[in-house]
Amino acid sequence: MQTQARVVVIGGGVVGCSVLYHLAKAGWSDVLLLERSELTSGSTWHAAGGCHTINGDPNVAKLQKYTIELYKEIEELSGQATGFHMTGGVMLASTPERFDWLKSTMAKGRYQDIQSRVITPEEAHEIMPLIDPKQFVGALETVVDGHLDPSGVTYAYAKSARKLGASIETHTMVTDIQRARDGGWIVRTDKGDVACDHVVNAGGLWAREVGRMVGLELPILAMEHMYLITEDMPEVAEINASTGKEVVHAVDFDGELYLRQERGGMLMGTYEKACVPWSIRDTPWSFGHELLQPDIDRIAPSLEVGFDHFPAFQTAGIKQIINGPFTFAPDGNPLIGPIRGLPGMWSACGVMAGFSQGGGVGLALANWITQGDPGFDVWAMDIARYGDWATMSYTNPKVQENYSRRFSIKFPNEELQAARPYKTTPIYDMLLGMGAQMGDSWGLEAPLWFSPDGTRDAFSWRRSTDFEHVKEEVRATREAVGVMEISGFSKFFVRGPGATAFLDRVLACKLPKPGRMTLAPMLKDNGKLQGDLTVACLSDTEFFLAGSGMAEVFYARWFEQHMPDDGSVTLEVVGLGMVGLSIAGPKSRELLQRLTPTDVSNAGLRFMGIQRMDVGFAPCLVGRVSFTGDLGYELWMKPEYQRHIFGRLLEAGKDLGLKPFGLRALNAMRLEKNFGGWAREFRPIYGPLEAGLDRFIAYEKDADFIGRPAAIAERAKGGTLRLRAFVLDAQDADVIGDEPIWHAGEVVGWVTSGGFAHNAGASVAMGYVAKEVADSDGPWQVELLGQRLVATPQHTPLFDANMDRMRG
C-alpha cells in the first residue's frame, strides 16, 4: 500500500467514493480511499435506492439535482451500470396544508430550474394508477426522480475515480489518526501508515468512531429504517403493459410512505413515528453486511394508511422486509466541511440520503479541499452549524424527532420541542413569567414573542395567533421603548498587539477608532460574503465583534484559519460567557440614563459609539446601535449581572411604557428598514455589491484585505444580482423565504426573507433579483401559496429613511 497521499478518504460507501471521484476529477489524482471491508459495507448496500430532487431547502435541492444528473456521467466513464431508472414521480397530499406545502415547494423550485407541476388527485391517479384518488386533495408531479442500484452507483464512482488516477484499498482498516510533525496527518491502518495533507471522514455508520480518533464527538446517530418488497403484483404488470413504463415513484407524506417498483412488485418504505435508534454511542466494528431484525408491528400504522391510499397492496404478498441502519445529524442535513481547529481534517458524514445528495456532497467537498471554497451554497450542510453543545445526549432526541417527522409539515411558526429547554440565560424564568413564547435558536431558548393572555402559536402558513401581540410589541417599541434579550449573538474578543493588522486583513471595512463601532462585512478570497459582523474598537489592542449566533463556529473557524501563528493575536469565542439586552425606541435613551451615571446624551454617546459603563450596579459594555433601526442600545454583561440589569430596566421603564419584545417584532422592525441578516440576505454566495453592503467595504484601505481583488472586480463588472425590498399586496399570509419573484411574467429572483412590518402596516419581502431588471418599475409579483401577489419595489426604507431617529 502507498505510504503517502495528498488526501486520504476514510470510508468506501457512496459518499466516500463520490468524494474520491470529485477530487480526482478536480485533478488531484494522488488521493487514496481506505475501506475496512468491501465497498458499500456500511449503510450503502441495503439502501432502497430512491432519489429525488425536491427538498424543503432549495440549495439542497440544487445539489440533489446535480447528484441525479451525475449518474449518466459516471456510468459512461466507468462502464459500470448504475441501474438508474428515471421514472419521474408524484408527491401526494391528503390535507390542504400539505397541498399548500407542495405548492410552495414547486414555487421554490422555479428559480433552481427544478421541474414540477401541481396536479389534481385524478391526474395523479392517471400517472400513478395504484393510488386511490379519493384519499388525496392534490399532488405534485416531479420529473427528475427515480431509483438506482446502490452498489452499482458506488462502484461507478469508485471505478471512475480509479480511471482518473485515484487509488482504493479495501480490507484496510483505519485504526488511528495522528498529527504529523510537518502539520499534515498520519493515518494508521492495519496495513501500515499513510502520511497525507488532508483526511476526509466518510465513515458513515462509523463516522463517530473515526471522529473520536482526533478527539471529536460528532453529532450523529444511526436510526433503524425498514422497507418491504412485495411479491409480483398483477396491478403492476398491468401498468407496465398498458404504459410500456415502470410504475412511477410516489411519496405519500401523510401516510409517511415512499413507493417504487421493484421487479414485478413494489417497494414500500416508511419513516415510522415509533422510531428506534441503533447503536446509540458506539457502532461495533464487527457489524458488516448485516441486516437488523424487522419489526412489522412498528410500521403497522403506516402500512394501514398505505392499504387505504394504495388499495392494491391489500392483496399483495410481502416477499421481504429489510431493516437497516443509517445516520442522521440533529437537523437531518449532512455534516460537511473543514473541522474547526484541525486544519486538513474534513467531514463528509451524516448524509442520510446518499443517493440524492452524495454527488453534491462530493463536489462541494472536493471544491473546498482543492480550491478553498465549496463553490456553491452549502450553508445548510456546513458542520460549523454545530458546536460542542451538540452532544450525543442532545443528538439522540433531536435525531429521533427528525426521523419521526421526516414527512411531517413544519409550519413557519412551528418550533420543534425535542431536547428543550437546553441552553438558557439567567433571565429565562423572568421571561417565561412575562409570557415569553420561546424558540430554539441552535440550542438556546430565545423569546419569539410575548403572550400576555396565555395564547399560543396556532401553526399555520398564514398570519396566526401571535399577529396582534407582535403588533403591540412593535407599537410599544416604536412609540416608547422595548427591551429584548440578545444573548444569542455570536461574540468574540480579538486582542493583542497584532489585533489591528489581523482584523484589517480579515474584515473588509475600515476599522473603527477606539470607542467606535462599524458594520464589518467579511469576504472570502472569491469576494463573496464570509460574514456580516459589527466590530467595536475598545482600544488599539482590543476589539469586540458580534454577529449571528448560528455562525459562531463558522466565524471562529475562519478567524482561526487566518490568525498569525506568532502569538500576537488571541481570539476569545465568548459564547454565553457574556449575555446581552437590547433597548430600543424613542425613550430608550431616557431609560438608560436613569440607570447609569455616564452621559448617554447624543453628544455623550453618539450613534455607533461604544463605552464601558455601570448600568444599575453592574459593569456593562454599551453600544449605541439597534437592529430595530431605531434609537437604541445593546448592553453586554457577564451572566451574573443580567438578572439585576433586566430587573432594573423593567422597574425604571414602567412609567416610560417599556415592553419586552421578541425576535418576531425585531423582524417586523428590521424589515421596514430594509436591513438584511446573515443566512438570509447575506450568504456565502452573494457579493457585497449584490447584497447592498459595498458601502461598508473599504476598497481603497491600506490593508490588503481578504477578497479585495475579487470584490474590486465585481464592483467593476457589476455582479449578477441585486438585493431588493418589496411591499406586497398580501391579504392573510406573508412570505417567509425562498418564494419566487416574477418580473414581467418571468421568474427573475427569489425571496430571502420577509414578514409583516407592523409599524408601517405593510407586508414586506426582501430578495435577490437579476441585476438587469433590478431597478425596473415592474410589473413585479411574488408568488405566495400558489398566488402571484403584486409587489411594489421599496427603494427607501419605510421607516426613518433619513435616519433621524437612529442617529438623533
Least separation in angstroms between CB 224 and ligand FAD: 8
Binding region for ligand FAD (CB under 6 A) out of 42-50, 235-243, 528-536, 560-568:
42-50
Contact with ligand FAD (CB under 6 A): which of 322, 501, 698, 747? 322
Q: Look-up: residue for cell 403591540?
A: 472
Binding region for ligand FAD (CB under 6 A) out of 30-38, 493-501, 595-603, 763-771:
30-38
- CA nearest 670: which of 547, 510, 806? 806
Residues in 220-239 that interact with ligand FAD by CB under 6 A: 225, 227
Residue 336 lies near ligand FAD (rule: CB under 6 A): no
| Bridge partners, residue 678, by sequence | 682
Residue 325 lies near ligand FAD (rule: CB under 6 A): yes
Least separation in angstroms between CB 338 and ligand FAD: 18
Q: Count Cβ neighbours within 10 Å for each residue of 439-457 and write b for 16 or more, e otherwise.
A: bbbbbbbbbbbbbeeeeeb
Number of residues forming the site for ligand FAD (CB under 6 A):
41
Q: Extract the runs of DSSP E, i.e. beta strands, from 307-443.
A: 318-328, 335-338, 345-349, 436-441
Residue 656 lies near ligand FAD (rule: CB under 6 A): no
Question: Would you say 251 or 727 has its CB closer to ligand FAD?
Answer: 251
Least separation in angstroms between CB 1 and ligand FAD: 13
Cα angle 431-436-442, degrees, rounded to a multiple of 5: 90
- CA nearest 14: which of 132, 196, 155? 155
Contact with ligand FAD (CB under 6 A): which of 44, 116, 490, 626? 44
Distance CA 721, CA 740 (A): 14
Rg (CA), the chain: 27
Distance CA 464, CA 221 (A): 35
- As given in the structure block, the three cell numbers for residue 767 are 430578495
Q: Would you call 634 helix, strand, or coil by DSSP?
A: strand
Least separation in angstroms between CB 269 and ligand FAD: 6
Question: Would you say 266 or 595 has its CB closer to ligand FAD?
Answer: 266
Tell me, residue by residue from 154 to 173, as one string, x for binding to ligand FAD by CB under 6 A and - for no binding: -------------------x
Residue 354 lies near ligand FAD (rule: CB under 6 A): yes
Tell me, residue by residue from 514 to 543, as one string, x for binding to ligand FAD by CB under 6 A and - for no binding: ------------------------------
Using an 8 Å Cβ cutoff, are 578 and 638 in contact? yes
Least separation in angstroms between CB 351 and ligand FAD: 5
Question: Would you say 355 or 726 has its CB closer to ligand FAD?
Answer: 355
Contact with ligand FAD (CB under 6 A): which of 58, 152, 203, 337? 203
Using an 8 Å Cβ cutoff, are 259 and 91 in contact? no
Contacts of 438 (CB under 8 A, 6+ apart): 415, 420, 421, 431, 432, 445, 446, 447, 448
Using an 8 Å Cβ cutoff, are 671 and 677 in contact? no
Residue 34 lies near ligand FAD (rule: CB under 6 A): yes
Contact with ligand FAD (CB under 6 A): which of 99, 206, 346, 449? 206
- As given in the structure block, the three cell numbers for residue 230 are 412485495
Distance CA 591, CA 584 (A): 10
Binding region for ligand FAD (CB under 6 A) out of 5-13, 392-400, 472-480, 561-569:
5-13
H-run or E-run covering 202? none
Binding region for ligand FAD (CB under 6 A) out of 324-332, 511-519, 626-634, 769-777:
324-332
Residue 326 lies near ligand FAD (rule: CB under 6 A): yes
- CA nearest 377: which of 59, 111, 66? 59
Contact with ligand FAD (CB under 6 A): which of 6, 30, 37, 616? 37
Question: Would you say 21 or 641 has its CB closer to ligand FAD?
Answer: 21
Helices 58-78 and 96-109, axial angle in degrees (round to 10) = 60
Question: Would you say 138 or 150 has its CB closer to ligand FAD?
Answer: 150
Q: Look-up: residue for cell 449532512?
A: 334
Residue 332 lies near ligand FAD (rule: CB under 6 A): no
Cα angle 586-592-595, degrees, rounded to a multiple of 5: 150
Question: Would you say 380 or 517 has its CB closer to ligand FAD?
Answer: 380
Residue 148 lies near ligand FAD (rule: CB under 6 A): no
Contact with ligand FAD (CB under 6 A): which of 16, 255, 439, 632? 16
Residues in 45-64 that interact with ligand FAD by CB under 6 A: 46-51
541 φ, ψ to 5°? -120, 15
Using an 8 Å Cβ cutoff, are 373 and 525 in contact? yes
Q: Distance of CA 638 to CAs 425, 464, 618, 635, 655, Å? A: 11, 36, 9, 10, 27
Q: What is the DSSP string of 502-538?
A: HHHHHB-SPPPPTTBEEEEEEE-TTSSEEEEEEEEEE
Residue 567 backbone zone (phi > 0: left; psi -120 to 50: alpha; other: beta): left
Sign of CA dihedral 562, 565, 568, 569: positive
Question: Would you say 152 or 204 has its CB closer to ligand FAD?
Answer: 204
User: What are the helix and strand counts (H, E) for the chain?
Assistant: 19, 38
DSSP state of 2: -
Residue 42 lies near ligand FAD (rule: CB under 6 A): yes
Residue 320 lies near ligand FAD (rule: CB under 6 A): no
Question: Would you say 216 or 353 has its CB closer to ligand FAD?
Answer: 353
CB-side neighbour CA atoms (13 Å) of 441? 25
Q: Look-up: residue for cell 452573494?
A: 686
Contact with ligand FAD (CB under 6 A): which of 355, 379, 742, 799? 355
Least separation in angstroms between CB 155 and ligand FAD: 12
Residues in 172-201 that interact with ligand FAD by CB under 6 A: 173-174
Least separation in angstroms between CB 326 and ligand FAD: 4
Residue 202 lies near ligand FAD (rule: CB under 6 A): yes
Residue 338 lies near ligand FAD (rule: CB under 6 A): no
Question: Would you say 195 or 774 has its CB closer to ligand FAD?
Answer: 195
Least separation in angstroms between CB 327 and ligand FAD: 7
Residue 15 lies near ligand FAD (rule: CB under 6 A): yes
Binding region for ligand FAD (CB under 6 A) out of 35-43, 244-252, 712-720, 777-785:
35-43
The footprint of ligand FAD (CB under 6 A) covers: 10-16, 34-37, 41-44, 46-51, 173-174, 202-206, 210, 225, 227, 322, 324-326, 351-356
